[in-house]
Amino acid sequence: MGKSTLGIIRAVVRGIDWFIERSGWAIRWLILAFVFTMAYEVIARYVFNAPTVWSYDISYMLGGGMIVLGGAYLILHDGHVRIDIFYGRLSTRKRLVLDIALGLLFFLPMVIIMSESSFHYAYRAWKFDEVSGVGIWRPTIFPFKAALFIAWCLVGIEGISWITRNIVRLITGREL
């Protein structure tokens, strides 16, 4: 792998990682919105005996949004779950080979399938002006379904960055 090729790969991977890091910091504001929404509902319901019709829908949309949109950030910071009973006993080289192989065989195909499916769900929600059937408020569901699609795209982009970093590390023996 030449120095110029490695430099280009390094710049692209660092750009992706920078973007995912910033998106992760932006997503944290959903946590604050979620907490304020729940606090408002609790106070309205138990202090003023005036529950809201919208809090349930907002809570699952914000909560679900936080979880799925945080997936790429989780991959960036190596926070995903592994079975350390086996993985921890492998050499660094074998771990890299396993990560690359499983990433290419299972992770990327799953991300492609989920991205495509979530795109169709979001498009259909937008096209037919779908509303939530869960709570009594019945807000439009498109933003939530669009967030799922965006989340899978971010997970895919960061997954490619992670696999690329592992390939370069396997070949060169150095971190990007």
Domain total in the chain: 1
pLDDT at 13: 94
- Please determine, for residue 143, whether its predicted confidence score (pLDDT) is greater than 80: yes
Position 1 scores a pLDDT of 66
Q: Is the pLDDT of residue 171 over 70?
A: yes
36: pLDDT strictly greater than 80: yes
Domain that holds residue 40: 3-172
* pLDDT tier at 135, thresholds 50, 70, 90: confident
pTM to 2 decimal places: 0.86
* Distance, first Cα to last Cα, the chain: 13
Q: What is the mean pLDDT of the chain?
A: 91
- CA geometry: angle 109, 112, 117, nearest 5 deg: 125
Inter-residue contact 167 to 111 (CB < 8 Å)? no
Q: Which tens digits make up the pLDDT trace of 54-69?
A: 998 999 899 888 888 8
pLDDT band at 110 (very low <50, low <70, confident <90, very high): very high
pLDDT band at 102 (very low <50, low <70, confident <90, very high): very high
